[in-house]
């Protein structure tokens, strides 16, 4: 196997078979990208609303949601 550390979640979703999500040095979730990289999990880890969706070609889209001013 190969271990890669990425901060690009879209890249991790596209190529990793297993991802590990951490907050403040502690593991919060581990599993498949579909199970781990959810709006709920990412919003909790990053303390902001995160949008997660898939395109018609099954590419994962992950981005922070803008707050209304």
Predicted model pTM: 0.87
C-alpha to C-alpha distance for 62 and 48, rounded to whole angstroms: 13
C-alpha to C-alpha distance for 49 and 57, rounded to whole angstroms: 24
Please identify which residue in the block is written with the tokens 């890249």.
Answer: 11
Render pLDDT for 18-43 as a digit per residue (tens, 0 to 9): 999 999 999 999 999 999 999 999 99
Query: 14-21 contacts: CB < 8 A, separation 24 or more?
Result: 14/59, 14/60, 21/45
pLDDT tier, 66 (very low <50, low <70, confident <90, very high otherwise): confident
């Amino acid at each position: 196997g190969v271990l890669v550390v990425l901060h690009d979640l879209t890249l991790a979703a596209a190529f990793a078979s297993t991802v590990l999500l951490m907050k403040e040095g502690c593991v919060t979730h581990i599993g498949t990208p579909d199970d781990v990289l959810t709006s709920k999990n990412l919003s909790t880890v990053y303390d902001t609303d995160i949008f997660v969706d898939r395109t018609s070609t099954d590419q994962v889209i992950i981005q922070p949601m803008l707050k209304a001013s």
